[in-house]
Each structure stands twice: as structure tokens, then as C-alpha cells.
Amino acid sequence: MDPTASGLVAAALAVVVIGLIVVAVVLWRRVAGLERRLADLTSAGDGSSLESTLHATLEHVATLASGVDRLASRATVLEAVQRKAVQRTGLVRYNPFEDTGGNQSFAIALLDEDGDGMVLSSLHARQNTRVYAKAIAGGKSEAALSDEEAEALRQAMGQVAPSARSS
């Protein structure tokens, strides 16, 4: 082979080798940058690993789920108790005797969601005051009701119970 031709081949090979070295350096720098970004993504910033961060997050989610379950069971108990709380009321004030004034006597119905409860009556006279209580079940009384007591019961039964509103 001619010395000029071999010099040209050597020069061409030198250019190719230098080009490959440049490409290798550029790729090495890109890989190093990607490794740094990957390390940043997989660490929690406080030196912990992504795995430990995920584990801590899952433990926190489990704790929250347990808390939600406890609240749900408490809400169920409270809803059951609330059904028996006084929710419906009716009040009638009146004057049963001609010699007293001011409608000091009253009949009040106090019922739960199911219409169970009582009607309290207070008869006020000049000399004394008497109080009577009559049981109510399902919106009805086993004892006879006065007109005022019946009106107080009608008022209370006419109210819509809170859980019936939301249904």
C-alpha cells in the first residue's frame, strides 16, 4: 500500500476514534445526569429511600382507614340512639278555669322519630298546679286525651322526623 494512502486511512481512523470518544463522553454525561435524577426521584429528600417512604405512606393510610371504620361504627350507634331522642314536639297553652288568666296551663307532646314518647299536661289553678303524664306509642295514647293534649299530639305528629326528611 502506498504511504500516502495509509496516512489517509490512519487520519480517517483517528477522526473516527476522536468522534467515538466525543460521543462516549456525551453519553457518559447524559447517563450520569439520568442517574442523579433517578436518585432524586427515589429518595424522599430526607435521605430515606422510596421504598421506606411508600411503606410509611401505606402505614398512614392503614391508620386512617382504621379511624374511618371506628367513626363509621360510632355514627351507626349515634344514629340508633338519635332515633329515640325527642324530635317531635307540640305545645298547647290554655286556660282551663274561668277564674284564672294568662293561659298558664299547657299540654306538651314529646315524641321520638317513631312517635313514641309522652304527653305532659299541667293544669294551673289559683290554689295548686297538677301535672299529668300519658304514654304515647306509635303516635297513639292508650289513655283518653283531653282536647288540648290531643292537639299537642297532632302538632307533634305533623312534624317530619329528621331521618324521614333525608330519606
The secondary structure of 15-70 as a DSSP string is HHHHHHHHHHHHHHHHHHHHHHHHHHHHB-SSS-BHHHHHHHHHHHHHHHHHHHHH
Helix (H) or strand (E) segment spanning residue 153: helix 147-158
Mean pLDDT value of segment 2-13? 87
Q: Does residue 95 share a domain with residue 157?
A: yes
Q: Does residue 13 share a domain with residue 64?
A: no
% of the chain surpassing 90 pLDDT: 63
Mean pLDDT value of segment 107-121? 95
Domain that holds residue 93: 88-161
Q: Is residue 30 part of a domain?
A: yes
Chain centroid offset of residue 40 CA: 37
pLDDT band at 167 (very low <50, low <70, confident <90, very high): very low
Q: Is residue 167 part of a domain?
A: no
For position 75, what pLDDT does the model report?
Answer: 96
Chain segment 116-163, per-residue pLDDT in tens: 999 999 998 888 889 999 999 999 998 999 999 999 999 999 976 555
Q: Is residue 105 part of a domain?
A: yes
Compute and round to an integer the Cα radius of gyration of the chain.
Answer: 44
Ramachandran assignment for 115, one of left (phi > 0), alpha (psi -120 to 50 degrees), beta (any other): left
Q: Does residue 76 share a domain with residue 27?
A: no
CB 160 within 8 A of CB 93: no
Q: Is residue 130 part of a domain?
A: yes
CB 113 within 8 A of CB 162: yes
Q: Does residue 102 share a domain with residue 125?
A: yes
Sign of CA dihedral 40, 44, 48, 50: negative
Q: Does residue 124 share a domain with residue 72?
A: no
Pairwise CA distance, residues 79 & 81, whole Å: 5
pTM across the whole model: 0.56
Q: Is residue 14 part of a domain?
A: yes
Q: Does residue 103 share a domain with residue 79?
A: no
For position 40, what pLDDT does the model report?
Answer: 77
Burial category of 92 from C-beta neighbours within 10 Å (exposed 0-12, middle 13-18, buried 19 and up) = buried
Q: Is residue 110 part of a domain?
A: yes
Mean pLDDT value of segment 19-27? 96
Our count of domains for the chain comes to 3
